[in-house]
Amino acid sequence: MTTSFSKGTLAFGLATLLGATSVQAQDSSDIEPVTLRLAHVVNEQDGFHIAAEKFKELVTERTDGAVNIDIYPNATLGDERTLLEGMQIGTVDMGVITNGPVANFVEEMAVFELPFLFSSPEEAYGVLDGPIGQELLDKLADVNLKGLAYAERGFRNLTNSAHPVSSPEDLDGLRIRVMENPVYVDTFRELGANAVPMAWTEALTAMQQGTIDGQENPVNVIHSFKLNETQDYMTLTRHTYAPAIFVMGMPVWQQLPEAAQQAIQSSAQDAAEYERERNAAMRTEQLAELRDAGMQIESSPDISTFQNAVAPVYDKYAEQFGDYLPRIREALK
């Protein structure tokens, strides 16, 4: 018999797993067949989808097909907050979710959103894949979520439709969409922008209608969503390294046998690392294609002026994340 956690096109519900028993690691013979829905909010060209497809491939291989992953891109099942809330109650199985919305559920996760915290991907990976990152993933259990691994959204950059930006003064008054996360809001307010928090699906419409001037995202998002069609200017500010999290609802996780849990856990980590490598390989080509499409790209903004401008963000949040900020800084020495 095939069991599905998500039956029906309208009720994205959690069906009960019957008879699932604990099995030894790497033994998939007793895993009752199950289908999990993995949702994300971006399109099939995005790194999130690349990570999701690799995850599906690995889980299928490591469970001999007993665990199947159905992927739902393009916010089919809702925006990121909706997906997380659905995971908590068991109406959504799992997803690849940007760290910013996750931090609305576990505040300490927002430490990674602090501007200019990491200067390279390697610095970020060392912290995320180490003890600090694992501790924060484990904290998701307190809100009925299971954190599996850190994929990435990547270093975020500014785009806008008004004029070139090379220093904070150029941001004065620009309406910039940011994620619904207070650290992002405060960061862009300190830079002089009118920070407008909204879901990504709403932001796409707002850019087309001209109700916002710009947004901030990694190159892969800017490219995959063809933001050059509404945004004439990009500035490689690399102001924040944004992780993304393979996260599952705890109601689903707890009903899986141990062998399935181990396969999912290891596959999430391996898929995350695969996505990181793909993102790095594609970035140069994506920038070239955006330039060819007419986007003006400022590749050498005055980063020091941006860093100085956001110093008050550190003053505000220095103690809000417990000891995580000093521990990260120590780990980066």
Q: Quote the pLDDT of residue 3.
A: 43
pLDDT band at 181 (very low <50, low <70, confident <90, very high): confident
Q: What is the 3-state secondary structure (H, E, C) of 17-80?
A: CCCCCCCCCCCCCCCCCEEEEEECCCCCCCHHHHHHHHHHHHHHHHCCCCEEEEEECCCCCCCH
Question: Is 50 exceeded by the pLDDT of residue 269?
Answer: yes
What is this structure's pTM?
0.83
- pLDDT, one tens digit per residue, over 33-76 is 999 999 999 999 889 999 999 999 999 999 999 999 999 999 99
User: Could you tell me the pLDDT band of residue 318, with boundaries at 50, 70 and 90?
Assistant: confident
The 10s digit of each residue's pLDDT in 94-112 is 999 999 899 999 999 999 9
Average pLDDT over the chain, rounded to whole?
A: 90
126 touches 71 (CB < 8 A)? no
- Residue 211 CB: number of other CB atoms within 10 A? 14
Confidence of residue 9 (pLDDT cuts 50, 70, 90): very low
For residues 103 and 320, give the distance between their C-alpha atoms in angstroms, rounded to a whole number.
Answer: 12
- Residue 12's pLDDT is what? 32
pLDDT band at 10 (very low <50, low <70, confident <90, very high): very low
Spatial separation of the C-alpha atoms in residues 162 and 226, rounded to whole Å = 17
Give the distance from CA 178 to its chain's centroid: 14
Q: Is the pLDDT of residue 20 over 60?
A: no
Helix (H, G, I), strand (E, B) or coil at 181: coil
Instruction: Give the Cα separation of 255 and 264 in Å (integer).
Output: 13
263/271 Cα distance (integer angstroms)? 12
pLDDT digits (tens, 9 = 90+) for 115-156: 999 999 999 999 999 999 999 999 999 999 999 999 999 999
Q: How far apart are CA 225 and CA 46, in angstroms?
A: 8
C-beta atoms surrounding 139 within 10 Å: 16
Q: Which domains are delineated in the chain?
A: 28-331 (3.40.190.170)
Please give the Cα distance from 162 to 164 (Å, whole number).
7
Q: Tell me, what's the pLDDT at 179?
A: 87
23 pLDDT more than 70 = no
| CB-based contact 224:45 (threshold 8 Å) | yes
Q: Are 64 and 34 in contact (CB under 8 A)?
A: no
**DSSP-H helix ranges across the chain:** 47-62, 80-89, 99-102, 121-128, 131-139, 182-190, 200-209, 219-224, 250-255, 258-292, 303-309, 311-317, 324-331
Furthest-apart CA pair in the chain: how many Å? 63
pLDDT digits (tens, 9 = 90+) for 224-248: 899 999 999 999 999 999 999 999 9
Q: What is the dihedral of CA 320, 324, 327, 333, to 10 degrees?
A: -90
pLDDT tens by residue, 64-90: 999 999 999 999 999 999 999 999 999
pLDDT value at position 100? 86
pLDDT for residue 28 = 65
Mean pLDDT to the nearest integer, 177-200 = 93
Percent of all residues in the chain with a pLDDT value above 70, rounded to a whole number: 91
- Answer whether residue 173 shows pLDDT above 80: yes
pLDDT band of residue 171 (cuts 50, 70, 90) is very high
- What does the pLDDT average to over 179-183? 86
What's the rounded Cα separation, in Å, for the pair 293 and 295?
6
What was the pLDDT predicted at 27? 62
Between the alpha carbon of residue 276 and those of residues 57, 240, 271, 279, the distances in Å are: 17, 16, 9, 5
pLDDT over 70 at 159, yes or no: yes
**Using an 8 Å Cβ cutoff, are 46 and 220 in contact?**
yes
248: Cα separation from own chain's centroid: 14
Q: What is the pLDDT of residue 309?
A: 97
Kindly tell me if the per-residue pLDDT of 2 is higher than 80: no
For residues 98 and 243, give the distance between their C-alpha atoms in angstroms, rounded to a whole number.
6
Per-residue pLDDT for 22 more than 80? no
